[in-house]
Structure 1
Amino acid sequence: MSVYKSFAVVGGGAIGLPIVNALAAKNVAVILLSRPGSAQKTVPSGVQIVQVDLTDAAAVAAVFKEHRVDVVLSTVTTTATAAQKSLVDAAKLAAIKLFLPSEYGFVTEGHAEGLLAAKDHIAAHLKSAGIPSTRIYTGLFIEYIPWLVDYSSGSKIKVIGKGEAPLSVTSVADIAGFVAHVLTTVPPSELENRSLRLEGERTSLNDLAVQLKTSVERVDSIGGEGGEFKTALQLNIGSGGGSTGWNVVNKVEGTGSNAAGSGNALWPGHQWQSIKEVLKL
């Protein structure tokens, strides 16, 4: 049984707010940390929003201590990954029991450069600080599929490369529910310094065209707003990195607890949402 009683979520975006809601539904103490002047968030009653300079480790640590926080969950955006360093320093000052860095995407272990490598650097900083951590790999959010392939109703999807590599996808609701479930029911020994690999459904970029009832347009890159990021993600998928079981160093699929979807077992009996259900196809 979990011993964690108080939680601090940092960042109230696409995955942060759902996690706040899922934790609040478990009737545990939850606070949401945000930057001063950030947009107002709607949270469940009983959840306190604390505005604090997230780059000020001492100030953040003081908040953690005031609210007797056991677990810190960072959900900052990928482009703000490096900013987590001060959160780790704050967690060290406050003797936090468990830290969940902002992963919630593709496997980052072993990446030597780029945005995914920046996440791996945060994990290394946590280790050097002696703070137990849990990394949760989810693959692509199902809700982001149309965005990744530049799809709108009636259009083709844009795919870089062959589009045959396996891709793990998981819904936001399932991710948030899983996080709340394991943090309130699973013993710390099964969470500390572990990588949990989720997979709501296994697909490929080509298979997405079938589900969306459209065809594929082969491209060398994705243009427009966010195009560079989408291009990088598709290239990672094409290299095998779209699977939550991918071993970046050895370039093979993991087995056992390193296999795609192996983390699903920590939520026995749960029915994971499909692409068709989430996108209402």
Structure 2
Amino acid sequence: MAEIKSVAIAGATGTLGPHVLKALVNAGFQVTVLTRSKKPGASDANAKVLEVDFASVESLTTALKDIDAVVSTVGGTAIDGQTILIDAAIAAGVKRFIPSEYGTVTTSPKLETYPLYSSMTKIRKYLQEKASAGKLTWTVLACGCFLEFLFGTPTLLDFANHKVNLYDEGDNRMSSTSMVNIGKAIAAILKNPDATKDKVVYTSEVILTQNKVLGFAKELKPEIKWEITKVQTSVLRKESLEAFGAGDFSMPVMMKLLAGTALAGDLYGGAYDQTDNELLGIKELTGEDVKKLVAEKLV
């Protein structure tokens, strides 16, 4: 496959997008940011910014002229709309498409019909269909939970209040990668187009369990008394699906579904024992590295 030089990114101002944008620029790509409206300071000085209509194949096709690859980092409500972006990419002759599917268990066949996951599955299968017809190539990056999310929210441990809600006894394994390294992994995918063509690529900085993190916390600050409760991920899945069935698609319900699936350990393949870290240039965290992250939260 020919070298990828020019890359367009959709969703550059979201949670993950800025990290991906920076990594692409740093890797030497010619980067174009696709946006609904130009906002001061919302982009990198080394990236070109184009206003587009994400609901228009024509608008996007024009913007994607001479672009080699498209990286999508759009948020949840825009996942389904990526079919329009894919159609435009094909019309413009784009070679590679990386959809917004950066998670832990999004590729699990067991979750294909679940809310949120079904949208990602639809986009992935749409890309596979187009690739089979020789219209473009694709890569999905499975990166585990965002490391910043696990340590920046009470998901693993509530560091601020010294509480922990253990999922299934606290030994569920989960892969995790920082957003900075997710950006670097995406850039590496595009630097290695043949090795990453039409496949799911896996990166994982570390495999964590709640009990491992709690153990580090107790070792570092033995004087802290932790309030421990427990919850079954099967209950979270059941309750969230019942709520969805009743028409409740609120954020709390969505988060309950994510906890019941992404944090359910090996049930849905949440820990990657085999990764593409070497190809992507991602260095794994040591136990001491994780201990330092815990120490920072206990200050």
Structure 1 equivalent of residue 11 of structure 2: 11
Amino acid at match of 2:179: V
The AA in structure 2 aligned to 1:168 is S
The match for 2:121 is 120
- Equivalent-residue separation in structure 1 for 2:283 and 2:183 (angstroms): 14
Aligned to 1:108: 106
**Hey, what's the Cα distance between the residues in 1 that align with 2:168 and 2:74?**
30
Query: How is 1:141-160 mapped onto 2 (pairs within 5 angstroms)?
Result: 141-145=146-150, 146-147=152-153, 148-149=155-156, 151-160=158-167
CA displacement 1:246-279 (0-9 Å, x = unmatched): xxxxxxxxxxxxxx341112135x4334444556
**8 A contact 1:53–1:60 mirrored in 2:** yes
> 1:190 Cα shift?
0.8
User: 1:189 is matched with which residue: 194, 202, 206?
Assistant: 194
Q: Is 1:233 equivalent to 2:258 in the alignment?
A: yes
Report what 1:206 is aligned to: 211
Maintained 8 Å contact 2:137/2:197: yes
The separation in 2 between residues aligned to 1:209 and 1:167, in whole angstroms, is 15
Is the Cα–Cα contact under 8 Å of residues 185 and 203 in structure 2 kept in the other structure?
A: no
Call closer, same or farther: CA 1:173–1:143 in 2, change over 3 Å: same
Cα separation, 2, equivalents of 1:11 and 1:183:
18
Q: TM-score, normalised by structure 2?
A: 0.77
The alpha carbon displacement at 1:159 in A equals 3.5
The equivalent of 2:270 in structure 1 is 243
* Higher mean C-alpha deviation, range 232-241 or range 100-109: 232-241
Q: Note closer, same or farther for the CA distance 1:127–1:15 as it changes in structure 2 (3 Å cut).
A: same
In the other structure, the counterpart of 1:28 is 29
**1:77 corresponds to which of 63, 75, 78:** 75
In structure 1, the partner of 2:279 is 266
Instruction: Specify the SS of the correspondent of 2:81.
Output: helix
Query: Does structure 1 conserve the Cα–Cα contact (< 8 Å) formed by 2:173 and 2:271?
Result: no
In structure 2, which of residues 96, 105, 117 is the aligned counterpart of residue 98 of structure 1? Answer: 96
Shift of 1:41: 4.2
Gaps of 5+ in 2: 219-225, 241-249
Q: State how far apart, in whole Å, the 2-side matches of 1:52 and 1:208 are.
A: 44
- Pick from 175, 183, 192 the counterpart of residue 176 of structure 1: 183
Give the Å deviation of 1:149: 4.5
The 3-state SS of whatever aligns with 1:9 is: strand
- Provide closer, same or farther for how the CA distance between residues 114 and 267 of structure 1 changes in structure 2, counting only shifts above 3 A: same
Q: CA deviation at 1:74?
A: 0.4
1:78–1:183 CA distance, 2 compared to 1 (3 A): same
**CA distance 1:176–1:2, shift in 2 (3 Å):** farther
What is the alpha-carbon distance in structure 2 between the residues aligned to residue 35 and residue 176 of structure 1?
Answer: 22
Q: Contact 1:199/1:261 (CA < 8 Å) preserved in 2?
A: no
Alignment partner, residue 253 of structure 1? none
Supply the distance in 1 between the matched residues of 2:188 and 2:85 (Cα, whole angstroms): 24
Counterpart of 1:238 in structure 2: which amino acid? A
Give the direction of change, closer, same or farther, for the CA distance of 1:276–1:91 in structure 2 (3 Å limit): farther
Match of 1:140 among 145, 157, 161: 145
Contact in 2 for aligned 1:135/1:196 (Cα 8 Å): yes
**Distance apart, 1:40 and its partner CA:** 4.3
Secondary structure (helix, strand or coil) at the match of 1:125 reads helix
Higher CA-based Rg? 2
